[in-house]
Amino acid sequence: MTLTLIGTSHIAKESEQRIKEYILSEKPDIVAVELDPSRLHSIFQPPRKIRITEIPKIGFMGWAFAVIGSWLQRKFGESVGMIPGADMRIAIITAKQIGAKIALVDRPIQLTLRRLSTEMTLWTKLKFFFYLFGGAFRSEKLEFNLEKVPEEKIIHKLTSELQHQFPALYKVLVTERDEFIAHQLKLLKMQNLESNIVAVLGAGHLSGVKALLSHRKS
């Protein structure tokens, strides 16, 4: 039994090719993806507007983050001719082609968005929006090719800046989800001792999940 982790970019054509080629060549028994049931459904549907009526469920910050995050991913995707989530779609489609089982290993998105609303103070929320619209995502600051999966040193630089500037945001989006994903993968391994498993994860989660899988015994 093996567990292989593949780091991807949600809008990179390179990710689609790498994932499809690996699954077709290695023919794993199980393909785990960084999705929950809600996001699994949404990536195979036309994009929908995030309604203001969802604020009571996920909080204002969670709602605002979902709106802005969706807009940014769409804009970045348009710049390279990709639809966000293409990496997860191709993983699922290819898994079905070879008859592999599909496992969803990410925390429910509604819980993550709600956690954003509760963990971030008013000052942090204001600082985040100022940082975001003050030029954090200007094209000249994007020091990598959006069509490719970022190199590890670039991922480290970006995540380190996020952790330094917004520790609460980093905790909710990265640390907590790394822990959830690692736990789900450990359960998956325990329940499928004879199976070969491939996990398709966003590149930003790769190092954290690897570390947790290596050091945690339960």
- Domain span at residue 97 reads 3-215
Structural domain tally of the chain?
1
The per-residue pLDDT for 124 is: 80
Distance CA 218, CA 216 (A): 6
pTM: 0.80
50-66 pLDDT tens trace: 777 777 877 777 777 77
175-217 pLDDT tens trace: 999 999 999 999 999 999 999 999 999 988 999 999 999 975 4
Q: Is 68's pLDDT higher than 80? A: no
The per-residue pLDDT for 160 is: 83
13-22, 43-52, 70-79, 103-112: which range is least confident on average? 70-79
Q: What is the 3-state secondary structure (H, E, C) of the chain?
A: CCEEEEEECCCCHHHHHHHHHHHHHHCCCEEEECCCHHHHHHCCCCCCCCCHHHHHHHHHHHHHHHHHHHHHHHHHHHHCCCCCCHHHHHHHHHHHHCCCEEEECCCCHHHHHHHHHHHCCHHHHHHHHHHHHHHHCCHHHCCCCCCCCCCHHHHHHHHHHHHHHCHHHHHHHHHHHHHHHHHHHHHHHHHCCCCCEEEEEEHHHHHHHHHHHHHCCC
The per-residue pLDDT for 23 is: 96
The per-residue pLDDT for 5 is: 96
Strand order through the sheet with 3-8: 3-8, 197-202, 30-33, 101-104
75-98 pLDDT tens trace: 655 555 556 688 899 999 999 999
Q: Is 106's pLDDT higher than 80? A: yes
117-165 pLDDT tens trace: 888 887 887 787 777 666 544 444 545 555 555 556 667 777 888 888 8
